[in-house]
Amino acid sequence: MTLTFRTVPVLLLLSAFVIGGAFFAGCTTTTPQPQGTPTPTPSAEKTKVLLATTTSLYDTGLLDYLEPIFEEKYNVDLLITSQGTGKAIEVATRGDCDILAVHSPSQEKAFLDGGHGINHRCFAYNYFIIVGPANDPAGIKGMKPEDAFKTLMTMGKDNPAGVSFVSRGDNSGTHSAEKTIWKAAGYNYTTDVQKSGNWYIEAGRGMGETLQLASEKQAYTLTDEGTYLAYKGNLALVPVIEEGDILLNVYSVITVYTPTQPAGKIAMANNFSNFLTSLEIQAAIGEFGKEKYGKNLFSPMSENCSRFNCDCTSPAVIVSPSSLS
């Protein structure tokens, strides 16, 4: 009996070490391989930079595609955490990541005004689209987005079983764009739209889940084009409205700044900005998804930078907010 009593915890510990050992061994040999360096050098620890980003950039696979190219070029370990734009900005404001890539101009401006970031650059755009059931029960096809929202609200209040709208409801970039449209349509979001009835459903989830929810409920929703194309196969939703200046969706990259941020991380974050705005990567962004989805998910900024009120060409060189002046 005493023997088994002693062997049990020992076995537990042993198995932990064995699995742990296998894991670390696996780690050191597998990470360098995709970068084409066959000799494992566990002692030379690479710099890690953490990118906090929005679900629409990550879930479409764009960043997974760009990550190895960047890592090879700069011999760095790029770590990516994907959250809604609101959460990503919160993480960056606390100084817990090194790079921010998001799509919410108003939240980005507040972030920069707070002195938390430098070298704001736009690197890609696409359009938000309003998707809904194929039979278009609200009859909004072809309307201006603002008018379509007005119609959705009127018809949804009258008949929530027939017409409903799913909102991200999570303070994400897409949610922020939705609020902008409600405002342009003449509504106060918190008093007129939220709690205005069962027709307005707040999902509180990522874009993919929100699309799936809208599909199950045969409701309308606002989505970025990239995520919709990536998920289209699993959805019973079709694009209803695809045009309107208010639907423009611009993705930006920002170097996160805190007074204690190591210079090396700022330099590497700036490298990432310059990488994204380089002609080579701009071309790659424009090609991404064409093969799989039949069209590109994102348009590179370089083609028509002048159309946007946003810097998308100058090299990211500033290393602190004070060096701006």
Partner 1 sequence: MNEIIDGFVQAGELILSLDPEVLEITARSLLISLTATVIASLIAIPIGGFIHFREFGGKRGLITIIQTLYALPTVIAGLFVFLILSRVGPFGFLGLLFTPTGMIIGQTVLIIPLMVGMTLIALSGVKKSLQDEVISLGATSSQAILTIVKESRFAILGGVILGFGRAISEVGAAMIIGGNIRGYTRVLTTAIALETSMGNIAFSIALGMILLAIAMVVTIALFLVQEQ
Interface ranges with partner 1 (CB under 8 A): 1, 4-5, 8, 12-13, 15-16, 19-20, 22-23, 26, 30-31, 50, 52, 55, 59, 64, 79-83, 94-97, 205-206, 208-209, 212, 230-231, 233-234, 258, 260
Q: How far is the CB of 231 from partner 1 (least distance, A)?
A: 6
**How far apart are the C-alpha atoms of 323 and 189, rounded to whole Å?**
39
Give the nearer residue to partner 1 in terms of CB position, either 149 or 231: 231
User: The tokens 């204690």 sit on which residue?
Assistant: 260
> How many CB atoms within 10 Å of residue 320?
15
Q: How far is the CB of 90 from partner 1 (least distance, A)?
A: 10
The Cα diameter of the chain in Å comes to: 80
Q: How far is the CB of 82 from partner 1 (least distance, A)?
A: 7
Give the nearer residue to partner 1 in terms of CB position, either 153 or 222: 222
Give the nearer residue to partner 1 in terms of CB position, either 15 or 314: 15
Q: Crossing angle for the helix pair 263-277 and 279-287, nearest 10 degrees? A: 60
Paired tokens of 74: 């700069």
Give the nearer residue to partner 1 in terms of CB position, either 30 or 198: 30
Q: How far is the CB of 216 from partner 1 (least distance, A)?
A: 13
Q: Crossing angle for the helix pair 173-184 and 145-158, nearest 10 degrees? A: 90
Q: Measured between alpha carbons, how far is residue 67 from residues 34, 39, 51, 58, 62 in Å?
A: 11, 21, 11, 11, 9
Q: How far is the CB of 62 from partner 1 (least distance, A)?
A: 13
Give the nearer residue to partner 1 in terms of CB position, either 52 or 316: 52
